[in-house]
Structure 1
Amino acid sequence: MGNLLGNDRAPRARLRELLAAPAPLLAPGAYDALSARLVEQAGFDAVYMTGFGTTASLIGRPDVGLLTGAEMADNARRIAAAVDVPVIADADTGYGNALNVVRTVQIYEQAGIAGIQLEDQVMPKKCGHMSGKALIGAEEMAGKVRAAVAARRDPDLVLIARTDAVATHGVDEALRRARRYADAGADVLFVEAPTSEADIERIAKELSGVAPLVFNWAEGGRTPPLSLERMTELGFSLVIYPIGTLLAATAGIRALLAGLRADGVPPLDGLPAFEEFTDLVGLPEVQELEQRFRG
């Protein structure tokens, strides 16, 4: 758990160790610092900052490129400060051209992020499981990847290159782009939104040995859900579950408000007690520090 006084941590080196392990690294999505703390408390070794969830939670809008890089980086900073486990953060398109990518990588690195995800969509982008996406050229994206490699100050910062080409150009082009981005220096490859298990198997087979691979277990998205056993067999190194926490929070809030509206009293069954919640967000640490530094 991230402490107020900080910790001697090496989250980027830790993320690289986890990605090199035989079993996939599971990274549930977090949209704010509280959901990130809950992911860590549940025993997961990494947190994924979801752009979809960040947009929904900050401005109550869909993930169609409405947030700026500064807004995304601020959310990433808060999440990274709240937990001790590595945080992998969505950085969309890098918010411009290769020069913008340089600044984006540096700002995310300063925010304490262990892994940054960049994609090859035209800006403004759309959620990878929405229709109407458009892509920049493969060579332009390769230039962005090279810029990201040159911009990072910590060589352990993990750079994830995502292609959305399956939806716009097909699997062949997605594979070609993924290899091109690996050649440009990407540490991890992310082929977004394949729509069949056969395509997933082909992607895993043809990119095996090129770079570690991401599987996006997008809750309710276009990609068929696979079991953890199957994802392990296929050799995926990182599995993200981007919006399950957001959907669960939405369902819980809806249920509470419906009960309050109907009865005038919020239904509290199943909710954490007040003291449990204050422990969760670190009140005991605050009280200990108050005693420690009392004049």
Structure 2
Amino acid sequence: MIDHSRQKNKKGTIPAFTPVPRHYNRHDGWTPERQRGFIEALADTGSVKSAAHAVNMTPEGAYLLRRHEQAGEFRKAWDAALACGVQRLEDIAMDRALNGVEVPVYSYGKLIGTRRKYNDRLLMFLLRNRAPKRFGEGGAHKENAYTRQQLEKLKAEWRHEWETEKRTESEAVVERLNRKLDLMAERRRADMSAEERRLEAELDAARKRRLALPGPAEADDDAADVEEADFEDAPAEPAAPTAPEEPASHRTVSIKHGWPDDGRATPFRGRW
């Protein structure tokens, strides 16, 4: 049974050909309908295996049919279909090189999102094939520095465009959130009574006055700075005069009582 769910190739891209004649017309063999379906599938997929499976045949049978002595037109159609398939693959590669591919991002075994990954090697490969004089191996020595400079310039431009797009999206999201918050605030004010509005106005005024005043920590710091400045500016007090210390062999004693005197108890002092 032939797979009819596959999208058929456009008409005119594959040359018409005469199917390879078979010795026996078997319903499960390479019938003319299967040969045409195989060529169309080959043009769509670029894979012999996929094209053969699309018509419920094997790739080995397709290669045997290609080697048939009367398969000249079939081989030409085969080559034309492969050219179409290669062009499709080249388009896919160009799309991946320009737009990248989405890859999943996992955290602790759970999928948390995706990110876009770009392949610079694929981009350079396509540039070398599309512009071999500028980016090919022959001009690598002459234009290697120029190529790197151009690639860095292109990367910077692409990065700038991407960041601008992301910034614009972020600003749009913030703007939408602000509009929603403003709308919610307006609805809440509309549902408030006159007394609630008066209390809210007084609360806002108190908050503004509080913000205008210095905080407790700032006030303590200012007071500490003032005290430290006053202490540094104050003149040093003169030291109190002290009496000369007498030798240990001479002790001042009281004549009246007979115990050591400090010189202030009585004016009558003697040597002991």
TM-score under structure 1 length normalisation: 0.22
User: 1 or 2 for the larger relative contact order (CA 8 Å, sep ≥6)?
Assistant: 1
Which one has the largest radius of gyration?
Answer: 2
Larger proportion of helix = 2
